[in-house]
Structure 1
Amino acid sequence: MIRVGNCSGFYGDRISAMREMLDGGDLDYLTGDYLAELTMLILGRDRMKDASLGYAKTFVRQMEECMSLALEQGVKIVANAGGLNPAGLAAKLSGIAENQGLKAKIAYVEGDDLRERAQELGLGSPLTANAYLGAFGIAECLRNGADIVVTGRVTDASVIVAPAIAEFGWSRTDFDQLAGAVAAGHVIECGTQATGGNYSFFREISDMSRPGFPIAEIFPDGSSVITKHDHTGGEVSIGTVTAQLLYEISGGRYAGPDVTTRMDTIKLSDDGPHRVRLSGVKGEAPPPDLKVSLNTLGGFRNQADFIVTGLDIDAKIKLAKQQLEAWLTKPPAELRWEVSGTARENAPTEEQASSILRCIVKDMDPKIVGRSFTSVAVELALASYPGFALTAPPADAQPYGLFTPGYVPQESVPHVAVLADGQRVDIAPAPETRPLEDAPESSLPAKPAVTETRQAPLGAIAGARSGDKGGDANVGVWVRTDEEFEWLAHTLTVDALKKLLPEADGMTVRRYPLPHLKAINFVIEGILGQGVASQARFDPQAKGLGEWLRSRHLDIPVALLDAEGNE
Structure 2
Amino acid sequence: MLRIANCSGFYGDRLSAAREMVEGGPVDVLTGDYLAELTMLLLWKARQRDPDAGYALSFLAQMRDVLGTCLERGIKVVVNAGGLNPAGLAHSLRELASAAGLAPRVAHLEGDDLMPRLAELRAAGEDLAHLGTGRPLAGAGVEPVTANAYLGAWGITTALRAGADVVICGRVTDASLVVGPAAWAYDWALDDWDRLAGAVAAGHVIECGAQATGGNFSFFTEIPDPVRPGFPIAELHEDGTSVITKHPGTGGAVTTETVTAQLLYEIEGPQYLGPDVVTRFDTVALTQEGPDRVRIAGATGEPAPERLKVCVNYRGGYRNSATFALEGLETRAKARFAEASLLDAVGGRERFADFDARLSPAGDRLTVTVKDADRDAVGRAFFAAVAGTGLSGYPGLHLEHASPRATEYGVHWPALVAASAVRPEVVLDDGTRLAVPEPPREPFRRDGRVYGSVTAHDDPLVRVPLGTLAGARSGDKGGDANLGVWARNEKTWRWLGWYLTVDRLRELLPETAGLDVERHWLPNLRAVNFVVRGLLGDGVAASTLADPQAKALGERLRAVQVEVPAGLLGAGAKVKDHALPTEGQSAGQDRA
- TM-score, L = length of structure 2: 0.91
Q: Quick check: 2:234–2:245 contact (8 Å CA) kept in 1?
A: yes
Q: Secondary structure of the residue that 2:191 maps to in structure 1?
A: coil
Q: Quick check: 1:471–1:530 contact (8 Å CA) kept in 2?
A: yes
| Residue 555 (structure 1) aligns with | 563
1:12-34 per-position Cα deviation (integer Å, ceiling 9, x unaligned): 00000000101100000000000
Partners of 1:540 and 1:212 lie apart in 2 by 27
Q: Secondary structure of the residue that 2:395 maps to in structure 1?
A: coil
1:284 to 281, 294, 302: 302
Partners of 1:455 and 1:157 lie apart in 2 by 40
Q: Secondary structure of the residue that 2:313 maps to in structure 1?
A: strand
Partners of 2:454 and 2:167 lie apart in 1 by 50
| Residue 505 (structure 1) aligns with | 513
Partners of 2:381 and 2:480 lie apart in 1 by 33
| Residue 403 (structure 1) aligns with | 412
- Name the aligned partner's letter for residue 86 of structure 2: P
- Name the aligned partner's letter for residue 466 of structure 2: L
Structure 1, unpaired ranges of 5+: 344-354
RMSD (CA atoms): 1.5
Partners of 2:110 and 2:301 lie apart in 1 by 26
| Residue 419 (structure 1) aligns with | 428
Q: Quick check: 2:25–2:247 contact (8 Å CA) kept in 1?
A: yes
Q: Secondary structure of the residue that 2:351 maps to in structure 1?
A: coil
Q: Secondary structure of the residue that 1:436 maps to in structure 2?
A: coil
| Residue 164 (structure 2) aligns with | 146
Please give the residue correspondences for 1:215-294 in structure 2 after superposition, counting only pairs within 5 Å: 215-294=233-312
Structure 1 pair 15/395, CA: closer, same or farther in 2 (3 Å)? farther
| Residue 33 (structure 1) aligns with | 33
Partners of 1:487 and 1:357 lie apart in 2 by 38
| Residue 62 (structure 1) aligns with | 62
| Residue 154 (structure 2) aligns with | 136
| Residue 360 (structure 2) aligns with | 340
| Residue 532 (structure 2) aligns with | 524
Please give the residue correspondences for 1:14-93 in structure 2 after superposition, counting only pairs within 5 Å: 14-93=14-93
Whether 1:447 and 2:465 are equivalent positions in the alignment is: no
Partners of 1:564 and 1:292 lie apart in 2 by 51
1:363 to 372, 396, 415: 372
| Residue 340 (structure 2) aligns with | 322
- Name the aligned partner's letter for residue 427 of structure 2: V
> Higher mean Cα deviation, 58-67 or 522-531?
58-67
Partners of 2:454 and 2:399 lie apart in 1 by 55
> Higher mean Cα deviation, 108-117 or 323-332?
323-332
| Residue 384 (structure 2) aligns with | 375
What is the CA-CA distance between 1:404 and the residue it aligns to?
1.4
| Residue 113 (structure 1) aligns with | 113
Q: Secondary structure of the residue that 1:522 maps to in structure 2?
A: strand
| Residue 190 (structure 1) aligns with | 208
2:182 to 147, 152, 164: 164
| Residue 476 (structure 1) aligns with | 484
| Residue 428 (structure 1) aligns with | 437
1:300 to 292, 295, 318: 318
Partners of 1:55 and 1:492 lie apart in 2 by 42
Partners of 2:447 and 2:61 lie apart in 1 by 43
Q: Quick check: 2:150–2:171 contact (8 Å CA) kept in 1?
A: yes
- Name the aligned partner's letter for residue 156 of structure 1: D
Partners of 1:564 and 1:144 lie apart in 2 by 61
Partners of 2:307 and 2:80 lie apart in 1 by 21
Structure 1 pair 519/392, CA: closer, same or farther in 2 (3 Å)? closer
Q: Quick check: 2:7–2:31 contact (8 Å CA) kept in 1?
A: yes
Q: Secondary structure of the residue that 1:271 maps to in structure 2?
A: strand
Partners of 2:64 and 2:117 lie apart in 1 by 35
1:266-297 per-position Cα deviation (integer Å, ceiling 9, x unaligned): 01111111100011110011110111000111
Q: Secondary structure of the residue that 1:323 maps to in structure 2?
A: helix
What is the CA-CA distance between 1:449 and the residue it aligns to?
4.4
> Higher mean Cα deviation, 556-565 or 27-36?
556-565
What is the CA-CA distance between 1:328 and the residue it aligns to?
1.1
- Name the aligned partner's letter for residue 406 of structure 1: A
Partners of 1:82 and 1:287 lie apart in 2 by 25
> Higher mean Cα deviation, 282-291 or 379-388?
379-388
| Residue 2 (structure 1) aligns with | 2
1:52-79 per-position Cα deviation (integer Å, ceiling 9, x unaligned): 1100011111112221121122111000
Partners of 1:185 and 1:155 lie apart in 2 by 10
- Name the aligned partner's letter for residue 395 of structure 2: P
Partners of 1:311 and 1:103 lie apart in 2 by 68
1:89-125 per-position Cα deviation (integer Å, ceiling 9, x unaligned): 0000000111111121111101000012224432443
What is the CA-CA distance between 1:341 and the residue it aligns to?
5.5
| Residue 470 (structure 2) aligns with | 462
- Name the aligned partner's letter for residue 359 of structure 1: V
| Residue 98 (structure 1) aligns with | 98
> Higher mean Cα deviation, 435-444 or 203-212?
435-444
Q: Quick check: 1:457–1:551 contact (8 Å CA) kept in 2?
A: yes
Q: Quick check: 2:382–2:404 contact (8 Å CA) kept in 1?
A: no
1:301-339 per-position Cα deviation (integer Å, ceiling 9, x unaligned): 000111222233233222221221112157111111111
Residue identity (%)? 51
Q: Quick check: 2:148–2:171 contact (8 Å CA) kept in 1?
A: yes
- Name the aligned partner's letter for residue 18 of structure 1: A
2:522 to 470, 493, 514: 514
Q: Quick check: 2:425–2:433 contact (8 Å CA) kept in 1?
A: yes
Q: Quick check: 2:46–2:53 contact (8 Å CA) kept in 1?
A: yes
Partners of 2:91 and 2:571 lie apart in 1 by 58
Partners of 1:29 and 1:547 lie apart in 2 by 34
2:232 to 198, 209, 214: 214
Partners of 1:271 and 1:126 lie apart in 2 by 48
Partners of 1:388 and 1:331 lie apart in 2 by 24
> Higher mean Cα deviation, 447-456 or 437-446?
437-446
1:310 to 309, 319, 328: 328
Structure 1 pair 162/192, CA: closer, same or farther in 2 (3 Å)? same
What is the CA-CA distance between 1:514 and the residue it aligns to?
0.5
Q: Secondary structure of the residue that 2:456 maps to in structure 1?
A: coil
- Name the aligned partner's letter for residue 7 of structure 2: C
Partners of 2:281 and 2:249 lie apart in 1 by 31
- Name the aligned partner's letter for residue 35 of structure 1: L
Whether 1:392 and 2:392 are equivalent positions in the alignment is: no
What is the CA-CA distance between 1:563 and the residue it aligns to?
4.7
Partners of 1:440 and 1:252 lie apart in 2 by 11
Q: Quick check: 1:225–1:276 contact (8 Å CA) kept in 2?
A: yes
Q: Secondary structure of the residue that 2:326 maps to in structure 1?
A: strand
Partners of 2:410 and 2:208 lie apart in 1 by 23
- Name the aligned partner's letter for residue 470 of structure 2: A
What is the CA-CA distance between 1:199 and the residue it aligns to?
0.7
| Residue 578 (structure 2) aligns with | none
| Residue 347 (structure 1) aligns with | none
Structure 2, unpaired ranges of 5+: 122-126, 129-136, 138-142, 574-592
Whether 1:493 and 2:501 are equivalent positions in the alignment is: yes
Q: Secondary structure of the residue that 1:367 maps to in structure 2?
A: helix
What is the CA-CA distance between 1:395 and the residue it aligns to?
3.6
What is the CA-CA distance between 1:143 and the residue it aligns to?
1.0
